[in-house]
Amino acid sequence: MLAFHIRPPLRVTLTYFLVFLAIGMSGGLLGPALPHLAEMTDSTMGQIAILFTARALGNMLGSVVAGMLVDRFPGHRVLIGMALLMATGLLLVPFSQALAMLTAVVFLLGFSEVSINAGANTLLLWTHGTASAPWISALHFCFGLGNMLVPLVLVAALALTGHFAWAFWVVVLYVLLLLWPLARLESPTPPSREPDAGRPAPPADPWRLAIFLLMFGLYVGMEITFAGWITAYGTLGGMTSSDAALLVTLFWLTLSAGRLLAIPLLGWLSPWTVLCGCLGLGLATALSLHFAGLPLQVASLLFGLSASAIFPTLFGLSNQLMTMRGRTTGLIFLAGGIGAMAVPSLTGPLLERAGTPAFPLLLAGLVALLMVGLIALWARVRHSTA
């Protein structure tokens, strides 16, 4: 009988890919299930929207707590504990008949999901060191894949059982199956603070961290703004509701495909080059949408492609330029959570006061700020090296 032996680092990495598929499915369930949750709790769509705020607040708290836990305890124990919390939340959602209880459960889900997200990202950095950028891109591709697969699970559950609850319970079962490989595998340990042979340890530089946090906040805010407002922008521009709803699907499609494409690219090109290419494409797309009347379908595809590799590449670059600990990763996800709440909330008032032409200019401004951040980071690294 043939036996296939997988090296321990690769086995750990594949397990993290499966874990990210799980949190992608958990996070992706809320949107498609929202009408069913509103009906279950007898809530209006305006009232049920509080679930997004609850999840965002849970994300912000979880990003801080997860960083501290991963630094102090074996990482896989932390992931197992948070996976149990996530499974409990998913199990309870169909039983949460009152909106207040459902809000508390979704807060728990946001807390556990981002804790697993931040923890697995940190552990993957510790596993692959400075060569982690392609692995991080593959990890986030699995997250996007989970987001794309879970609506099909919901459709199948409704077709077979007539009740949305089974979609949540199928994801619960998948999460519980992941506990066994996590318990068997040894947790990665933080890299030594001592310099490697021929490579000095990254300096402790608060300004580098501040620039990274600003860029992560801007990027996540930009991504959520496009995904959350492109349908409304298309409708205000005269598209039918069905055609406008397709725009966000096109965005997520190329965002996921681009993360898959970034895996070999990050093996051939430097992170700086990949980031410059992504930001250049994003700026060109936003300006073309405003000045040249680029079709919205094409703009959604191109902007998704431009955004695809920014987060994983920036995350891998931070591992090269800083000593990454769980606390550092927690701060990164906290900055992303703040950006996800702050930037999209500015879009509605902007559209009301300045009209639809302001939307592509807002996107162009966010990309331009990311470019400024990248230039500032490069200058800071040059200054520190000198």
Query: Radius of gyration over alpha carbons of the chain, in Å?
Result: 21
CATH of the domain at 257: 1.20.1250.20
Regarding whether 214 and 106 lie in a shared domain, the answer is: no
Would you say residue 89 lies in a domain? yes
The band of 151, judged by pLDDT with boundaries at 50, 70 and 90, is confident
- The tally of domains found in the chain comes to 2
Regarding whether 232 and 356 lie in a shared domain, the answer is: yes
The band of 3, judged by pLDDT with boundaries at 50, 70 and 90, is very low
pLDDT of residue 97 exceeding 80, the answer is yes
pLDDT digits (tens, 9 = 90+) for 269-321: 899 999 999 999 999 999 999 998 889 999 999 999 999 999 989 988 888 88
Regarding whether 159 and 55 lie in a shared domain, the answer is: yes
Max mean pLDDT among 138-152, 324-338, 359-373 falls in: 359-373
Regarding whether 223 and 95 lie in a shared domain, the answer is: no
Please tell me the predicted confidence (pLDDT) of residue 125: 85
215 within 8 A of 314, measured Cβ to Cβ? yes
Last-in-domain residue among 133, 152, 184: 184
Would you say residue 295 lies in a domain? yes
Regarding whether 133 and 231 lie in a shared domain, the answer is: no
Exposed, middle or buried, 315 (CB in 10 Å: 0-12/13-18/19+)? buried
Would you say residue 201 lies in a domain? no
Distances (CA, A) of 244 to 176, 220, 230, 234: 37, 22, 8, 5
Would you say residue 229 lies in a domain? yes
Look up the domain containing 52 and give its range: 8-184
Please tell me the predicted confidence (pLDDT) of residue 354: 81
Please tell me the predicted confidence (pLDDT) of residue 128: 83
3-state SS, 334-374, equals HHHHHHHHHHHHHHHHHHHHHCCCHHHHHHHHHHHHHHHHH
Would you say residue 86 lies in a domain? yes
Using CA atoms of 329, 334, 337, 342 in order, give the dihedral in degrees to the nearest 10.
-140
Regarding whether 179 and 223 lie in a shared domain, the answer is: no
Dihedrals phi, psi of 35, to nearest 5 degrees? -60, -35
Regarding whether 233 and 122 lie in a shared domain, the answer is: no
Q: What is the mean pLDDT of residues 33-50?
A: 82
pTM: 0.77
Would you say residue 376 lies in a domain? yes
The band of 90, judged by pLDDT with boundaries at 50, 70 and 90, is very high
pLDDT digits (tens, 9 = 90+) for 351-370: 778 888 889 999 999 999 99
Would you say residue 189 lies in a domain? no
Distance in angstroms (rounded) separating the CA atoms of residues 170 and 203: 46
Regarding whether 154 and 229 lie in a shared domain, the answer is: no
Regarding whether 262 and 301 lie in a shared domain, the answer is: yes
Regarding whether 213 and 350 lie in a shared domain, the answer is: yes
In the chain, the amino acid numbered 211 is I
- Count CB neighbours of 277 within 10 A: 15
Q: Is the dihedral of CA 287, 291, 296, 299 positive or negative?
A: negative
Mean pLDDT across the chain: 86
Q: What is the mean pLDDT of residues 17-25?
A: 92
Would you say residue 190 lies in a domain? no
Regarding whether 211 and 176 lie in a shared domain, the answer is: no
Regarding whether 103 and 37 lie in a shared domain, the answer is: yes
Distance in angstroms (rounded) separating the CA atoms of residues 40 and 187: 41
Q: Is the dihedral of CA 165, 170, 175, 180 positive or negative?
A: positive
